[in-house]
Amino acid sequence: MESVSEKKNSLAPHIALFAVQLMFGSAPILGKFALEAFPSFAIVGFRVVGGALAFMILQRIVGTLALDKRIHYLYFALFALFGIVLNQLLFFHGLSLTTATNTSLLAVLIPVFAIVVSAFVGNDTLSWQKILGIFIAGFGVVYLIDPTNASFSSATTLGDILVLLNSLSYAIYLAISKKLVTHYGSLKSIAWLFLFGSIINVPIGIFSLSTVELSEVSQAAWLALAAVVIFPTILAYYWNTWALARVEPSMVAVYIYLQPLIGTFLAITILGEPRNPRIFLAMALIFLGVFLVTKKFKKNRIIPTS
């Protein structure tokens, strides 16, 4: 019989992953205000440099930044390429060329990509229950966004391809980073991810920022930008990496299904957008899918090595 401590430990990654999706889901609300003054690539630059500084300082407080082997620096550079650089640049540029409906629909492919890549590299196992859970949750998202309203015309083709590549990029990051993230722990891992990611994203952000007259940026826009850096960047990435070190990659990926629900709820309550009658059935389907994947992991729980 599980002790109270064991139950809390088993629930902690799920609580963290839900909080992560809550913050990621709120990013468009915060970003909408920041985008009134800053270009999208400039916001990416601020997010990455803010995360790099915060995680580097925190890691230096609790320990050293040094990795055990030289080859591990190369591995983390590779993880950063997929999880930070390509993930953010492809998403924001793709979003500017396609519709929000198409973007949400294509994001459903992240768990599909993640479980296939993860199984290929040996970090995950395929089962009918896990696959069923992913497809049920995916159907819930598709039902919510109503793909009959999606527009895959030639005008959005490039954007659709970029968002699709963004989904693949993030899925590859989830699948291949599991072992080293578990070995080094969440804080040191995410510090190196953002440090390597800043090598590319920050110069791009600075170049994009050159078009902005900073003296004319309002205090509200600066506050919105700060909120984007703190919540869906520093806190969300840290907790997502912390959870990845304790559960299989497909569980981290399947929680992505919650983002459309959270985004829709915030759009209704904060932005006053029309209520979508599909949300209730979609929510039931998504949580059923998450439950099926979660139940499988509880039976085959992985104990962290560090």
**pLDDT (tens digit per residue) in 211-268:** 999 999 999 999 999 999 999 889 998 888 888 778 877 777 778 778 777 777 777 7
Task: Give the whole-angstrom CA distance, residue 18 versus residue 294.
Answer: 13
Q: What is the mean pLDDT of residues 129-154?
A: 74
Please report the pLDDT score of residue 191 as a whole number.
94
Quote the Cα angle for 158-160-162, to 5°: 70
Condensed to tens digits (0 to 9), the pLDDT of residues 55-103 reads: 999 999 989 999 999 999 999 999 999 999 999 888 877 777 776 656 7
Task: Give the whole-angstrom CA distance, residue 77 versus residue 229.
Answer: 21
Q: Which of 19-23, 79-83, 104-108, 112-116 has the lowest mean pLDDT?
A: 104-108
Residue 292 makes CB contacts below 8 A (sequence gap 6+) with: 129, 130, 132, 133, 136
Please report the pLDDT score of residue 49 as a whole number.
95
Q: What is the mean pLDDT of residues 3-18?
A: 73
Q: Please list the helix, strand and coil fractions of the chain in percent, rounded to the nearest 5, in that order.
A: 80, 0, 20
Please report the pLDDT score of residue 195 as a whole number.
96
Q: What is 35-53 written as a DSSP string?
A: TTTS-HHHHHHHHHHHHHH
Query: For every residue of 239-273, which 3-state class applies, written as one string?
Result: HHHHHHCCCCHHHHHHHHHHHHHHHHHHHHHCCCC
Q: What is the mean pLDDT of residues 292-301?
A: 55
pLDDT at 298 over 60: no
Task: Give the whole-angstrom CA distance, residue 190 versus residue 76.
Answer: 9
- Tokens for 306, please give them: 């560090």
Please report the pLDDT score of residue 121 as a whole number.
76
**Residue whose C-alpha is closest to residue 220's, from 17, 14, 34, 27:** 34
What percent of the chain stands above pLDDT 90?
Answer: 31
**Residue whose C-alpha is closest to residue 20's, from 188, 224, 254, 220:** 254
What percent of the chain stands above pLDDT 70?
Answer: 83
- Tokens for 16, please give them: 């963290």
| Residue 79 CB coordination number (10 Å) | 23
**Residue whose C-alpha is closest to residue 26's, from 185, 231, 212:** 231
Q: What is the mean pLDDT of residues 178-199?
A: 91
Please report the pLDDT score of residue 299 as a whole number.
46
- Tokens for 48, please give them: 């990455």
Q: Tell me the pLDDT of the chain averaged across its residues.
A: 81
Q: Are 10 and 2 in contact (CB under 8 A)?
A: yes
